[in-house]
Structure 1
């Protein structure tokens, strides 16, 4: 990956996070938007839009940090655990899903039903399974577990600040950009780092041509 591709990759991730942050705000802060529509207050609405896009950018940066940390963790895990690394990842996924149910429910002191937290963890798992399957089809079957690890474990770790706040608004405003950015980064990485086979073939042919011509000339002589 050259610097141009890297900058383009990071810029697209940032934009996706900003858009996701804005879109989810229309649902989470619907009452706030509605209050400024009647009477119409253009400055307040623009302020809300800019704020939520900026919030999305912030979570995009968090997602990018987590993604590159994941790449390091994955390489380290392969070197340290070797063939046991997939099993370790599965155990970590199960552990994180349990924590995603148990600790938020305990912090809520019974104010929120346990079913809600189970549904939240199940939804994240199902989404992760779908994205991991797409990643595996686009690359190879061995990418399934690492992809699921990113979508469940790394996303949850990045989401911790949102889970610790009172109410669910901030959690929703945070999870949408994180999922959108992690999904894009995961599915686009192999395309960004893919070697252009056509250019490589042409370059190889150009290097081989003078040698071939020289051999032909020698044989004639």
Structure 2
């Protein structure tokens, strides 16, 4: 990985984060922005779009910090446990732990009286399913040893990156940040090996 490839990955991920947040932002806050489209307020639409893209750049940078932090942690994990299979087992336990905490603690902290736990489970399940799909693609394009690390990154690291809005628990912000993070994380994971092959 040379500096030219790193810069290419950085700016392409920045672009992906900005565009995905722009699209997701209008979808998530459609009730708030719908009147801008019906009344053709182009200046307002563009100003909101620029703001969303700027927010997306921030999400992208958070995603990239998480990605490079994980690459470092993965190397440390392999060195400490001296066995890929043992390190994979540790990562699987951590994935289960993080998903359980994502459901249990969010439900304990934010659920209203009588509210079902189902919506909290569905969010965790969605992240896990996206992680499975991305990890499977990564495994198909590289090797079978890549599956667990890719799943760990897509689940555990995404949840850690998502933590600032998890604390607030404002629904629009939860989804506004989650989807771009998943998209940026998946993009980096599936782009890295292609860049290294060039």
Judge which range, 103-112 or 12-21, deviates more: 103-112
Judge which range, 29-38 or 145-154, deviates more: 29-38
Distance, in Å, in 1 between the alignment partners of 2:64 and 2:92 is 23
Distance, in Å, in 1 between the alignment partners of 2:11 and 2:24 is 20
Q: Which runs of 5+ in 2 are unaligned?
A: none
Q: 1:35 matched to which residue of 2?
A: 35
Query: What is the number of residues matched between the two proteins?
Result: 195
Q: Is residue 192 from structure 1 mapped to residue 195 from structure 2 by the alignment?
A: yes
Distance, in Å, in 1 between the alignment partners of 2:182 and 2:196 is 21
Distance, in Å, in 2 between the alignment partners of 1:126 and 1:38 is 36
Q: Is residue 10 from structure 1 mapped to residue 10 from structure 2 by the alignment?
A: yes
Q: TM-score, normalised by structure 1?
A: 0.85
Deviation track 1:127-166 (CA, whole Å, cap 9, x = no partner) reads 1011101101111000000000000000000001121224
Shift of 1:68: 0.2
Q: Which runs of 5+ in 1 are unaligned?
A: 197-221
Shift of 1:38: 4.2
Aligned-CA RMSD value: 1.3
Q: 1:82 matched to which residue of 2?
A: 82
Distance, in Å, in 2 between the alignment partners of 1:58 and 1:155 is 14
Shift of 1:7: 0.8
- Residue correspondence of structure 1 range 132-151 to structure 2 within 5 A: 132-151=135-154
Deviation track 1:11-49 (CA, whole Å, cap 9, x = no partner) reads 110000011101111211112221223433222211110
Q: 2:100 matched to which residue of 1?
A: 98
Deviation track 1:59-102 (CA, whole Å, cap 9, x = no partner) reads 00000000000000000000001221111000000000001101
Q: TM-score, normalised by structure 2?
A: 0.94
SS in 2 for 1:127: helix
Computing the radius of gyration from Cα coordinates, the structure with the larger value is: 1
